[in-house]
Structure 1
């Protein structure tokens, strides 16, 4: 992504998570195979509980996240979102159909009917989106908002303390700056000139891949939208009242782990001191390291972790 000075001045955060965007991200996450330590059990549960009515939607929403945007409108509620999906029908192109049909695991028949304006096909899509939203998103909406708001609060602080480049580079471990160009070393390869339109940041507790760039809610004249993995993915969001702001952001276990790393610790020492498994320590330290809160280095057979200055600063501000 090529930034101009105007773009860097116009980086903002979305006000709230959007129901149908999170519905789409949840269905995508359910089909992915990465981050199994975090999402594995959640995927198994969703696979068992997902209503059959949702299945046609999986022809459109594939695991790589490069999906037709009309099924994930930037609408504040379900009904407005479904209306936006139906309105988009008149603007679907043959090229979009070819792309969707080539990616769909099922046959292209119902997709052709959908693009052709067939009433039954559109009712099938409407029911699939509604069923997915009610089954996967509605029960988790408080936790989705908690993850979203905690990430925005964290990145706002990161922005204030270390600037916009650190804030944007922290959206993914593969992100790096080359002058005023932000690069993500992950496929597919493409290039975007923001051209003064700016960028809106939207963390998703379901998305696990590299950040996704899309046309924002204001279309070609508005800011681009960057959807990226929230610091705390949904399966790690604590239920019920947390012990403080830091617990709400990181979860109690990771907050305790970060606190322990004010002094240098090995992976084994962390597992012993926090009474958690070695794989769990590795997963939590990976997330904290990706957020720039800890560093990790190898010393012989031992793996040593320690809080960064940013991590200590966060601990201090969180009490």
Structure 2
């Protein structure tokens, strides 16, 4: 469990990020790929191999890979310039104790220039392959999420404000908690928290301190509802037919997802997600199958056709957009 101890000044200083961070999106997109497609890393380009050694399906990776800057080229230059001490400490932090450390990773930790270039090339290759082609949609999802939340967020009590971001966030008596594999306590000391929605990540909320600015405390959460994640919203007629939540659940199934993933994306409980998928399954729009302890859902040909016939572009809620 990660605990963030907040003062009144911290809550007053909590704000939304000004811009998305494309290299953070790249690392999260790779983690999302590994979460949704277990065992599919073999199908990825060999060029990104160094990333697969450092990033896993829980988005656990070294912070030098994802500088929180808005310009991708600036981000790549920061990856190249990460100090040796940062390389060494971050690789030691994320490397499993029961896993042998390859020679190239040892060399990278020592600041080897060739290994730095290999990592930068891998990150560039993944960014160009996965994030750059959908950059406009991802940025729109980021800005839409903030535009929808900003008017109401300052009016909430702390508990409901943070809880509105993600069901796994809990606030009580000055302490914000979120799931984490380790027991960690953070004290922002009046700096507040920067809230950064991600349009590529559907997992648990994440917390990071950029190595370049240790007073910057960033909480990353998946955008919601589901149609924000994919950059398209169910058309009004479909939402009126199915209801907005059920239409959003259907839209989220453009790629197969488990019940838990649907619940997180749509901001609903797992039992509610099960009820919605059952109704969609009864209508012939969704097929479900059990895999271990999980139930995985996907569109039928009828469900895909219904979405294709009824989708329309998501509204642009970015600053300066026409109403």
Q: TM-score, normalised by structure 1?
A: 0.70
* Cα distance in 1 for residues equivalent to 2:59 and 2:100: 17
**2:263 is matched with which residue: 279, 282, 286?**
286
Query: CA contact under 8 A between 2:199 and 2:229: conserved in structure 1?
Result: no
Matching of residues 142-221 of structure 1 within 5 Å: 142-160=136-154, 162-185=156-179, 187-216=181-210, 219-220=213-214
Inter-CA distance 214–257: structure 2 relative to 1 (3 Å threshold): same
Deviation at 1:170, TM superposition (A): 2.0
- How far apart, in 2, do the equivalents of 1:169 and 1:257 lie? 25
- Relative to structure 1, the CA distance from residue 105 to residue 137 in structure 2 (aligned partners, 3 Å threshold; closer, same or farther) is farther
1:216–1:71 distance in 2 versus 1, CA, 3 Å:
closer
Stretches of structure 1 lacking an aligned partner (at least 5 in a row): 34-39, 240-250, 304-318
Distance 1:177 1:197, change over 3 A: same
Aligned to 1:26: 29
User: Which residue number corresponds to residue 310 of structure 1?
Assistant: none
Pair 1:109–1:91, CA change in 2 (3 A): same
Conservation of the 8 A alpha-carbon contact between 1:231 and 1:291: no
Aligned CA RMSD, in angstroms, stands at: 4.2
Which residues in structure 2 correspond to 1:222-261 (within 5 Å)?
Answer: 222-232=215-225, 236-239=229-232, 251-252=233-234, 256-257=238-239, 261=243
Aligned to 2:63: 69
Q: 1:81 to 1:200 in 2, by over 3 A?
A: same
Whether the 8 Å CA contact 2:21–2:68 is kept in 1: the answer is yes
TM-fit CA distance, 1:115: 1.4
Q: Map Cα deviations across residues 209-245 of structure 1 (whole Å, 9 max, x no partner).
A: 221111158612x331111111146895245xxxxxx
**TM-score with structure 2 setting the length:** 0.69
Q: How many residues align?
A: 272
Q: State yes or no: 1:127 paired with 2:121.
A: yes
Aligned equivalents of 1:68 and 1:236: distance in 2? Answer: 25
Match of 1:242 in 2: none
C-alpha contact (below 8 Å) 1:2/1:182 kept by paired residues: yes
> 2:6 pairs with 3, 13, 24, which one?
3
**Higher percent of residues as helix:** 1
* 1:32 partner SS: helix
Q: Which stretch shifts more, 102-111 or 127-136?
A: 102-111
CA contact (8 A) 1:53 1:127 kept: yes
